[in-house]
Chain A
Amino acid sequence: MKTQIYIHSSSCISAQHTFANPAWHDNVLKPENNIYKCVEPDYTNIIDSAFIRRMNRLQKFGLSTAISSLQRVNKAIDAVIFATGRGCIDSTCKFLERMFNREGLPVNPAVFIQSTHNTIAAQTAIYLKSKAYNTTITDNQLPFELALDNALICLHDNDFENILLGACDEITPQLLDILDRISKFGKPEIYGEGGACFILSTDSTDSIAEIKYFNSVPADEAAATVGILSAEYAVDYIFTAGKRKYAEDIPHIRYTDYFGNFPTSAACGFWLAVDCLNSRNPAISRAGNILLVAENRQGAAFVTAVGK
């Protein structure tokens, strides 16, 4: 459906130098051993040190991108919505290890507290002292798209004007080992991790991009939807995670080439789209409208149009 929701700011931590760095594309990094690990900023420059001590790595991804995306905007936030595919895998594994190795005494609760999916959005709320609507969406394949859907549903409501939408996932040595074994049953991929955060608003003033269309369609109708949208808007690129192209005559960018594959990679893809609309990326010439298409293995697709 057509939407008129505006993006006021965006921030990304990824395997590229994307954090607070408009010139990230001057030095595009390649994966090492099929893995795209994040280039992490110095968190002490971003987050209050008293908080850093109590945070796991994924919380740092989430909160840093949240703080960074709020720097550009001076708006009261009416909702904090985060997406994650696998949640805090590192804390979860640590707690499991200690649970099975311990003798007698209960383990330290810190890693248990940090293992829950909502700990990222919760830490963000505590840090921002935000008592607003707060939720965490999870899904194996399209958590970011479902969280974006949740955000857009909220923005239908007069109670909501500005929403902080974030997404992140991490990889750990154990997770890589397990994914490698699972992938023996499917195609091997470049694994990645990272996160991004956006401020969405119903207000157009000073926005950096607009979400012009967002809808969920059956995957076999995605190409037809792309056809209709490309007739309506001058579409410069189609962004996807996978290889499938949805239109022969429109250049196709696979954002996983930059960030690797992970459940919330689409958040980094969405960030890349917003970046392309606003910067001079030599690899991708400045664009007017970009379509993002994501589909899951159950035959559902999300189609998003972003433009200036």
Chain B
Amino acid sequence: MRVFVADVGIISATGAGVENNLCRLLDMQHGLNGKSSYLDADTDYYVGRVALSNEELRDMFGIKTKLSRTSLLSLHAVNECLKNFHPNCRMGFISGTTTGGMDKSESFCNQYLTDPKNARISDVVYHTCGSATASIASYLPKLNYISTISTACSSATNAIILGAQKIKYGQLDAVIAGGSDSLCRFTLDGFRSLLILDNDRCKPLDLNRAGLNLGEGAGYLLLVSEDFAVKHGISPLCELKSYANVNDAFHATALSDEGDGPYLAMKQTLAKANLSTEKVDYINLHGTGTVNNDLAESAAILKLFGETYPPLSSTKAYTGHTLGASGGIEAVFSVLAIKEQKVFPNLNFTTPMDSGIIPVLKPKTQKVKYVLSNSFGFGGNCSSLLFADIQIITN
């Protein structure tokens, strides 16, 4: 059974909704205007903060309970995904996240450490990653399947892969798949302790790149089976043609310099689609801007594609690295590349790495039939997705 993308939904530092994000990508306008001081951290890194506050997000959906920001961002993007979708069907919701309700757990913990009795227990009940998904299910249409994936920065991508597997083998008709993560001090201090945050705006693929900027947001695809799309006259945006999930099996937080995991993820994805490398029209890179990631990803691209690699870019300098959401957000960008027949430029690139890949630097209109999207995470979790343009299918 083929798997189609019926719709997409996104919220990020570059904007709420597909149109806002697309405009910013084509105008080369980044969203890294926030500073991390609002997280009560003692430092001031650039962060990709979503402009809407928790209160604004709650009001939009008439939510009375104090859900985690991860859930609220998720609901915003999922809602956009479903705006034109009405049929009753066997539907799943598979979401990737790494922080879950950590924003609320932090306020609980801060109080708990000094005055345990007075810490508000209601602040910690949404702590788990599973809660971030389950707590918004009641705001969605009837769901037959709810699952949460937490594989660090490839969480959303692996959620999309599981969604595709459920459809491919006929177990579900439609799946909302992607991910959501909110900014919190936990991840800010965590990445800071690893010394991989750039003090300035990040410079993916640049020789002088100095680390990543954290971001927040959510991105989801509405995946439907071919049968379901045909039956209900859905004109898909594209096909989710292939995917692969592998492990670099090298180090807890670093990719192998040769990029074994990234190479295998891309190679297997193309092999399963029986697609040769020269057919790929655009690669949305993981491209975090850390020394290690971009080196490994560049090595993997050159090994697989050779010097004639396709147009490619990282969009992390627009949104920041949204961790568990990044695979969802970038899957949306990959679908938009096909829909708009455009490739999106990489920001802040001036100097190539020594024999490294060189990204697209201006928005470009071109034929975009096949797009690869890469997501690599801590723990060696490396996954790739392949999207393909298709003829409009109607009944």
- Contact between B137 and A109 (Cβ–Cβ < 8 Å)? no
Chain A residues contacting B21 (CB-CB under 8 Å) are none
Given contacts A104-B42, A182-B125, contact A122 B150 (CB under 8 A): no
Identify which of A149-157, A236-244, A272-280, A287-295 touches chain B.
A149-157
- Contact between A97 and B260 (Cβ–Cβ < 8 Å)? no
B85 within 8 A of A: no
- Contact between B193 and A112 (Cβ–Cβ < 8 Å)? yes
Identify which of B76-84, B240-248, B301-309 touches chain A.
B240-248
B124 within 8 A of A: yes
- Contact between A116 and B98 (Cβ–Cβ < 8 Å)? yes
- Contact between B106 and A96 (Cβ–Cβ < 8 Å)? yes
Chain A residues contacting B264 (CB-CB under 8 Å) are 131
Given contacts A134-B245, A153-B165, A156-B169, contact A119 B379 (CB under 8 A): yes
Chain B residues contacting A159 (CB-CB under 8 Å) are 272
Chain A residues contacting B190 (CB-CB under 8 Å) are 95, 109, 112, 115
Query: What distance in Å separates the Cβ of B291 from its nearest Cβ neighbour in chain A?
Result: 16
What is the count of residue pairs linking A and B with beta-carbon distances less than 8 angstroms? 167
Q: For residue A120, which residue of chain B has the nearest CB?
A: B379
- Contact between A154 and B150 (Cβ–Cβ < 8 Å)? no
- Contact between A96 and B109 (Cβ–Cβ < 8 Å)? yes
B53 within 8 A of A: no
Query: What distance in Å separates the Cβ of B118 from its nearest Cβ neighbour in chain A?
Result: 12
Given contacts A96-B105, A134-B380, A154-B165, contact A113 B247 (CB under 8 A): no
Query: What distance in Å separates the Cβ of B190 from its nearest Cβ neighbour in chain A?
Result: 4
Residue interface mask A175-208, B partner, CB < 8 A = 1: 0011001100000000000000000000000000
- Contact between B151 and A135 (Cβ–Cβ < 8 Å)? yes
How many of chain B's residues have a CB under 8 angstroms from any CB in A? Answer: 60
**Which size class do A's interface residues fall under?**
35 or more
Chain B residues contacting A119 (CB-CB under 8 Å) are 252, 378-379
Residue interface mask B133-170, A partner, CB < 8 A = 1: 11001000000111111111000001000100110010
Given contacts A126-B251, A146-B147, contact A134 B134 (CB under 8 A): no
Point out the residue from A99, A100, A118, A138 that lies within 8 Å of B377, measured CB to CB. Answer: A118
Given contacts A97-B113, A112-B190, A139-B130, contact A125 B249 (CB under 8 A): yes
Given contacts A108-B193, A118-B378, contact A138 B128 (CB under 8 A): yes
A225 within 8 A of B: no
- Contact between B246 and A133 (Cβ–Cβ < 8 Å)? yes
11 A–B contacts, CB within 8 A, in A order: A87-B128, A112-B194, A118-B151, A119-B379, A131-B261, A135-B149, A137-B147, A138-B128, A138-B150, A139-B146, A181-B121
Interface residues of A in 75-134 (CB under 8 A from B): 80, 85-87, 93, 95-97, 99-101, 104, 106-109, 112-113, 115-119, 121-123, 125-126, 128-134
- Contact between A139 and B134 (Cβ–Cβ < 8 Å)? yes
